[in-house]
A and B are shown apart, each in its own frame.
Chain A
């Protein structure tokens, strides 16, 4: 049990001592991505191997024993960031860290023999780019070009161990906050200029101030971990990779606004985040860092977790609190705002995962330090999940104001297989597309808005010339239409009508006046919908319409899809010289559009063809091709 500040200092010192006593640590990435590629198995194999290798010994707490053999720890860390190259493994000896990528079960023995026992680097398992092999993770351009505040611990230590968090300076910020007055804490956060990382960009300090001055004395701290934007996994990675930091941030908020209860709302698709957060909460309760009179002060704080149940709209503040209360997750009209009447009608601080995770470091290093990173209007860093048609997919964190070019080409390594860059979709279903001409614009909350997009929570999906922008707009509209809660008419009906038009266009039945109707509906929804989900739903359409209008017109007038992605606009033909006349395609065609004589080449009747592609799938000779 940690009863007071002194005991916390002692516990952290003891934890550091433990860490130093390890001769070697094998850090196996246990983020969702690496587990999917088999990192749990790798962890298991390493534990077995270490147990059975003479000269090394598997230890869990190396201090206190007399070790004649090398003390080796096998640990599961949070996301190491390079998701595409998993399973990722780091071998740490003192300050030296070696990053291995794509580690397979059969590599483990070699790693123990060579790297752990004999200190040799296995070049084959290093990250390679061109002719260069990188040993330390910090040298890999993908990581070297990032600035990590929220993700600083992710991948470096055991996400399930409070001791490791303490050893890395965990809870120093809470200790410092508790020695400051509540107003001083709020002022520091306010001065730092930290803005809500969930997408809105509302200043966090101002929110806290508003809650602190309410008459009602029962208050709540709520964390939005309902990261629903398709293509975004930053918050999930923080909850998995550094759960203690998120909780520490929430505790500081709790202290500042005099709240005694904190709730984290995690989406149902993140079972691992839920497990790691529960584990963290249990350990903190056991050690007395959560509960009554924390560190011997009058501050008490209790944490609760609510699991989402599959409703995107619950990422909206008032819908989220309604869901925690056990109701349908539907937004309500504002005001009153959440700071006045939030959870159970009480004043509530509602921030997202990344926002809270920024707080400890702001308290420790001060507002000025935070302001020295990023841009004047948007200080600090932002995490992004970099996905789609890009070489290095993964989790990144860069200062606000970094340009798209740096993110996509320097960090992301450019497009996959040398494809040509077309656009990057940012901000998910509430965001828009940025193109070639935006590549050198610095990205922050305010600059991106000017281009009909939003920074949003940070999902970044890179698209090559193979992607059809009309189809992308249709895709997002079908998402928001499905996820519309149905409470307000503009969103419920408007998104449905917009989707119908978009479907018509990708099916080759669009009319030119559809584009005007789309714009009219979009403006109507934007101005009249009840909540943020509805208001931003038309953005993907508006943004693609303004940047890729030609593409819409080609679909409508020429009945062609330049990216050759829209099924209905494809044109199937059989290449006579390749066709063996086996009749397999004819037998598989659902509309009997293919005819011919066995042994001679077959023909497709375009009147009957529904462009389903069944013939291509069935042809063993690649004799069927698609043109636009």
Chain B
């Protein structure tokens, strides 16, 4: 069971939008921005509140890559694997990050809930390839060494 405060927050988010199907995606985005994931209980709750079926809400939530039912780390690191980054060797950067954090293509989030590492298709920062994004900040011209240093810096920040 989720704490009552989650539902209060969700009510507040829902109140920003019209109560119908078109608001489902923005509401889910706001909830995810708040908690860094989409707690399944809240999705069912939202469905009821905006008058759509739970099945419909789940079908939409599972379609889009951005929604995650699992909690993500404090720092979500998106490694760009777009064409420009790929030809400028983004794979070694991804490998270095996963190695440093003990993650893999199966496990994306560290046990201490500090880091999540995922890949994205393009960050739109192709001029500075290879790029990664930590939460909303883009880091340009990455190398495996810079990636490891960045992790150390973020660890120090906690």
Could you tell me if A36 and B22 are in contact, using CB atoms closer than 8 angstroms?
Answer: no
B65 contacts A by Cβ under 8 Å = yes
Could you tell me if A388 and B87 are in contact, using CB atoms closer than 8 angstroms?
Answer: yes
Q: In whole angstroms, what is the CA distance A476 to B87 when docked?
A: 12
Could you tell me if B126 and A269 are in contact, using CB atoms closer than 8 angstroms?
Answer: no
Q: Which residues of A sit under 8 angstroms from B86, Cβ to Cβ? A: 230, 475
Within A309-340, the residues touching B (CB, 8 Å) are: 309-312, 323-330
Q: Which residues of B sit under 8 angstroms from A230, Cβ to Cβ? A: 81-86, 121-122
Within B116-145, the residues touching A (CB, 8 Å) are: 120-129, 131, 133, 136-140
Could you tell me if A463 and B87 are in contact, using CB atoms closer than 8 angstroms?
Answer: yes
Q: In whole angstroms, what is the CA distance A329 to B126 when docked?
A: 26
Could you tell me if A269 and B88 are in contact, using CB atoms closer than 8 angstroms?
Answer: no
Q: In whole angstroms, what is the CA distance A33 to B139 when docked?
A: 9
B26 contacts A by Cβ under 8 Å = yes
Could you tell me if B124 and A227 are in contact, using CB atoms closer than 8 angstroms?
Answer: yes
Q: A35-B138, A36-B131, A309-B65 are in contact. Are A467 and B87 (CB under 8 A)?
A: yes
Out of B22, B88, B120, name the residue touching A326 (CB < 8 Å).
B22
Q: Which one of B7-15, B56-64, B103-111 is at the A interface?
A: B56-64
B21 contacts A by Cβ under 8 Å = yes
Could you tell me if A236 and B63 are in contact, using CB atoms closer than 8 angstroms?
Answer: no
Q: Which residues of B sit under 8 angstroms from A326, Cβ to Cβ? A: 20-25, 52, 60
A303 contacts B by Cβ under 8 Å = no
Q: Which residue, of B24, B64, B122, B128, has the highest number of chain A Cβ atoms within 10 A?
A: B122
A393 contacts B by Cβ under 8 Å = yes
Q: Closest CB of chain A to B100's CB: distance in Å?
A: 13
Interface flags for B1-42 (1: CB within 8 Å of A; 0: not) read 000000000000000000011111110110000000000000
Q: A310-B65, A327-B21 are in contact. Are A479 and B129 (CB under 8 A)?
A: no
Could you tell me if B83 and A269 are in contact, using CB atoms closer than 8 angstroms?
Answer: no
Q: In whole angstroms, what is the CA distance A435 to B121 when docked?
A: 24
Q: A36-B138, A428-B83 are in contact. Are A328 and B127 (CB under 8 A)?
A: no
A294 contacts B by Cβ under 8 Å = no
Q: Which residues of A sit under 8 angstroms from B133, Cβ to Cβ? A: 269
Out of B63, B81, B127, B129, name the residue touching A311 (CB < 8 Å).
B63
Question: Which residue of chain B has its CB nearest to the CB of A267?
Answer: B124
A229 contacts B by Cβ under 8 Å = yes
Out of B23, B24, B67, B124, name the residue touching A32 (CB < 8 Å).
B124
Could you tell me if A388 and B136 are in contact, using CB atoms closer than 8 angstroms?
Answer: no
Q: Closest CB of chain A to B48's CB: distance in Å?
A: 15
Q: Which residue, of A236, A328, A387, A388, has the highest number of chain B Cβ atoms within 10 A?
A: A387
Out of A231, A389, A479, name the residue touching B126 (CB < 8 Å).
A231
Could you tell me if B140 and A37 are in contact, using CB atoms closer than 8 angstroms?
Answer: yes
Within B67-82, the residues touching A (CB, 8 Å) are: 67, 78, 81-82
Could you tell me if B60 and A388 are in contact, using CB atoms closer than 8 angstroms?
Answer: no
Interface flags for A275-315 (1: CB within 8 Å of B; 0: not) read 00000000000000000000000000000001111111000
Q: Give the size category of B's interface with A.
A: 35 or more
Q: In whole angstroms, what is the CA distance A329 to B63 when docked?
A: 8
A26 contacts B by Cβ under 8 Å = no
A552 contacts B by Cβ under 8 Å = no
Could you tell me if A229 and B122 are in contact, using CB atoms closer than 8 angstroms?
Answer: yes
Could you tell me if B83 and A388 are in contact, using CB atoms closer than 8 angstroms?
Answer: yes
Question: Which residue of chain A has its CB nearest to the CB of B122?
Answer: A230
Interface flags for A81-92 (1: CB within 8 Å of B; 0: not) read 001101000000
Q: In whole angstroms, what is the CA distance A35 to B63 when docked?
A: 31
A233 contacts B by Cβ under 8 Å = yes
Within A29-51, the residues touching B (CB, 8 Å) are: 32-33, 35-37
Out of B64, B128, B137, name the residue touching A33 (CB < 8 Å).
B128
Q: Which residues of B sit under 8 angstroms from A328, Cβ to Cβ? A: 59-60, 63
Could you tell me if B64 and A329 are in contact, using CB atoms closer than 8 angstroms?
Answer: yes
Within A471-499, the residues touching B (CB, 8 Å) are: 472, 475-476, 479, 483, 485
Could you tell me if A393 and B126 are in contact, using CB atoms closer than 8 angstroms?
Answer: yes
Q: A36-B140, A230-B83, A311-B65 are in contact. Are A269 and B25 (CB under 8 A)?
A: no
Q: Which residues of B sit under 8 angstroms from A325, Cβ to Cβ? A: 21-22
B53 contacts A by Cβ under 8 Å = no
Could you tell me if B124 and A270 are in contact, using CB atoms closer than 8 angstroms?
Answer: yes
A228 contacts B by Cβ under 8 Å = yes
Q: Which residues of B sit under 8 angstroms from A329, Cβ to Cβ? A: 63-64
B49 contacts A by Cβ under 8 Å = no
Q: A231-B83, A329-B64, A387-B84 are in contact. Are A306 and B26 (CB under 8 A)?
A: yes
Q: Which residues of A sit under 8 angstroms from B138, Cβ to Cβ? A: 32-33, 35-36
Question: Which residue of chain A has its CB nearest to the CB of B86?
Answer: A475
Could you tell me if A389 and B127 are in contact, using CB atoms closer than 8 angstroms?
Answer: no
Out of B21, B23, B121, B127, name the residue touching A395 (CB < 8 Å).
B127
A556 contacts B by Cβ under 8 Å = no
Within A399-438, the residues touching B (CB, 8 Å) are: 425, 428
Could you tell me if A232 and B126 are in contact, using CB atoms closer than 8 angstroms?
Answer: yes
Q: Which residues of B sit under 8 angstroms from A475, Cβ to Cβ? A: 83, 86
A374 contacts B by Cβ under 8 Å = no
Q: Which residues of B sit under 8 angstroms from A311, Cβ to Cβ? A: 63-65
Interface flags for A73-97 (1: CB within 8 Å of B; 0: not) read 0000000000110100000000000
Could you tell me if A307 and B26 are in contact, using CB atoms closer than 8 angstroms?
Answer: yes
Question: Which residue of chain B has its CB nearest to the CB of A468?
Answer: B87
Q: A306-B26, A324-B22, A327-B21 are in contact. Are A83 and B128 (CB under 8 A)?
A: yes
Could you tell me if A461 and B83 are in contact, using CB atoms closer than 8 angstroms?
Answer: yes
Could you tell me if B67 and A309 are in contact, using CB atoms closer than 8 angstroms?
Answer: yes
Could you tell me if B121 and A233 are in contact, using CB atoms closer than 8 angstroms?
Answer: no
Question: Which residue of chain A has its CB nearest to the CB of B139?
Answer: A36
Q: A271-B136, A307-B26, A309-B65 are in contact. Are A33 and B125 (CB under 8 A)?
A: yes
Q: Which residues of A sit under 8 angstroms from B129, Cβ to Cβ? A: 387-388, 393
Could you tell me if B125 and A479 are in contact, using CB atoms closer than 8 angstroms?
Answer: no
Q: In whole angstroms, what is the CA distance A387 to B139 when docked?
A: 17
Question: Which residue of chain B has its CB nearest to the CB of A540?
Answer: B83
Q: Which residues of B sit under 8 angstroms from A269, Cβ to Cβ? A: 78, 120, 122-124, 133
CB pairs A–B below 8 angstroms (18 shown):
A32-B125, A33-B127, A36-B131, A233-B122, A233-B125, A269-B123, A306-B26, A307-B25, A308-B66, A309-B65, A310-B66, A326-B22, A326-B23, A327-B60, A328-B60, A389-B88, A394-B127, A472-B87
Q: Which 10 A-B pairs have the closest CB atoms?
A: A83-B127, A230-B82, A310-B65, A309-B64, A387-B84, A310-B66, A36-B138, A231-B83, A233-B124, A387-B126
Contacts A83-B125, A388-B129 supplied; 18 other A-B pairs, CB < 8 Å: A36-B139, A230-B83, A231-B82, A233-B122, A233-B125, A233-B127, A268-B29, A269-B120, A269-B122, A269-B133, A309-B28, A325-B22, A327-B60, A329-B64, A330-B63, A388-B84, A461-B87, A467-B87
B-side residues, CB < 8 A to A, are: 20-26, 28-29, 52, 59-60, 63-67, 78, 81-88, 120-129, 131, 133, 136-140
